[in-house]
Amino acid sequence: MKLKKIIIFYPSFERGGVEIILMNLINFFLKKKVKIVLISNIPKKKLPKNTNFLQINPNYKTNSLFSDRIYKAFRATTILSNILKISNPKETIIFSLQSSSLAILVSKIKNYSIVVRNAEDPIYSTIYSENKLLSLLAIMSKILTYNFSDKIICNSEGSKVSLQKLLFSKSKVISIYNPYLKKIYQKKSSSKRNFIITVGRLTKQKDHQSLVKAMQILIKKDCNLKLLIIGDGDQKRKIQQLIENLNLKKNIKILGWKKNLDNYYKSAKIFVLSSLYEGLGNVVIDAVNFNTPVITTNCKSGPSEIVKKNKGGFIVPISNPMQIAMKILYCLKNYKIAINKAKYAKKHIYRFSEQKNSEKYLNELVKVIHEKY
């Protein structure tokens, strides 16, 4: 294998699924004796201690001229450029998880190979963005630069199809499911308690407001049910205000981030994902793994692939509180059907194995180097 070093470009650390995916990949690469250089501001305590691992933290300063994400991307790109000066392009590859347009430009100028990970549906993330101008600039930069990357790995078939619509070099775009699942939970379903959970960042993308409004409909129908929202984010105040305005403080709790969610998944009656768009939806994988019936929006892309469309879960339209509420009611009244759907989805959960998909990622990185040199 010619590949000896992977430079991972991830300028702006965010909690959530990408953090788990990144750490799983790093640990797998290290097991294969590949040197890793990580350009990111991830807290050091989260990172492995290994002689083949080096983190370069850009140590960002407060910046007021540009958006936080743009500033961090430019700062990290400068560091990437300096690292490439002392690396060997025949045995080094850049693997970009974020702000990839800048990384692609630097890699081409320096004559290095680069593989990009695309983690969301690019078209629908633009349509539903809060900042339309920045999103349009982001998608334009992808159209202009992604064709020059050596390969693009999407985390679902849906996001792959979406990205291919934007590019000339469609053959460069492949899909590999997230290397996410460490082990499959083998025990039978434990007793389910009378609450619903949803897990994720509190952002516009996740559309918690529709789920909160669905709960109002259920409470008016005398449905004795609670909703636990696990996560945090910039929409927290808006969601809390909506809960208060609808007099649902007794029925809905925002718990923030939790270190271990296993017991929540095991005990929940239903898991609901109300997103406007996704890349894949790791939290749906967790719900399926713990035998919890899933209701998800038909958002682009990913969740419907996890539950094998309606065979392994319940699909509802986006931004439709009434449909969410009615599907929750149906699920509660027909719980044996719901459990059987969860069992069907679980039969196919091996597709998201950490080991299997990490191997696929490494194979693609090695293939790029081999084809070029």
Residue 187 located in a structural domain = no
Structure tokens at 7: 């430079």
Considering the domain architecture, whether residues 148 and 175 belong to the same structural domain is answered as: yes
Considering the domain architecture, whether residues 94 and 231 belong to the same structural domain is answered as: no
Residue 185 located in a structural domain = no
CA nearest 304: which of 191, 128, 202, 158? 158
Q: What is the pLDDT of residue 136?
A: 86
**Which domain range does residue 306 map to?**
195-352
Ranking 59-63, 64-68, 238-242 by mean pLDDT, the lowest is 64-68
Considering the domain architecture, whether residues 154 and 202 belong to the same structural domain is answered as: no
pLDDT tens profile 158-209? 999 999 999 998 999 999 999 999 999 887 766 888 999 999 999 999 999 9
Q: What is the mean predicted confidence (pLDDT) over 199-227? A: 94
Considering the domain architecture, whether residues 151 and 299 belong to the same structural domain is answered as: no
62 band by pLDDT with thresholds 50, 70 and 90: low
Q: What is the mean predicted confidence (pLDDT) over 57-86? A: 80
Q: What is the pLDDT of residue 64?
A: 45
How many residues make up the chain in this entry? 373
Q: Domain holding 243: CATH number?
A: 3.40.50.2000
CA nearest 225: which of 137, 76, 331? 331
Q: What is the pLDDT of residue 65?
A: 47
For residue 200, the one-letter residue type is G
pLDDT at 14 exceeding the cut of 80: no
Number of domains in the chain: 2
pLDDT tens profile 127-137? 888 778 878 88
Considering the domain architecture, whether residues 279 and 171 belong to the same structural domain is answered as: no
Considering the domain architecture, whether residues 49 and 133 belong to the same structural domain is answered as: yes
Q: What is the mean predicted confidence (pLDDT) over 316-327? A: 96
pLDDT at 229 exceeding the cut of 70: yes
Residue 186 located in a structural domain = no
Contact, 168 vs 126, CB < 8 A? no
More confident residue, 142 or 14: 142
Q: What pTM value is reported for the model?
A: 0.91
Ranking 15-24, 94-103, 277-286, 298-307 by mean pLDDT, the lowest is 15-24
Residues forming a β-bridge with 297: 316
Considering the domain architecture, whether residues 126 and 213 belong to the same structural domain is answered as: no
pLDDT at 312 exceeding the cut of 80: yes
Residue 218 located in a structural domain = yes
Considering the domain architecture, whether residues 156 and 269 belong to the same structural domain is answered as: no
Q: What is the pLDDT of residue 122?
A: 87
Considering the domain architecture, whether residues 26 and 99 belong to the same structural domain is answered as: yes
pLDDT at 298 exceeding the cut of 90: yes
Residue 286 located in a structural domain = yes
Residue 120 located in a structural domain = yes
Considering the domain architecture, whether residues 157 and 205 belong to the same structural domain is answered as: no
Q: What is the mean predicted confidence (pLDDT) over 52-62? A: 85
Ranking 57-71, 272-286, 315-329 by mean pLDDT, the lowest is 57-71
Considering the domain architecture, whether residues 201 and 143 belong to the same structural domain is answered as: no
Residue 79 DSSP class: H
Q: What is the mean predicted confidence (pLDDT) over 333-356? A: 95
* pLDDT > 70 in the chain, percent: 98
Residues forming a β-bridge with 277: 300
Considering the domain architecture, whether residues 114 and 236 belong to the same structural domain is answered as: no
Residues 6+ apart with CB under 8 A from 344: 308, 311, 312
Residue 184 located in a structural domain = no
Residue 96 located in a structural domain = yes
Contact, 301 vs 157, CB < 8 A? yes
Report helix angle 208-220 to 236-245, nearest 10. Answer: 20
Angle at 293 between CA 328 and CA 311, to 5 degrees: 100
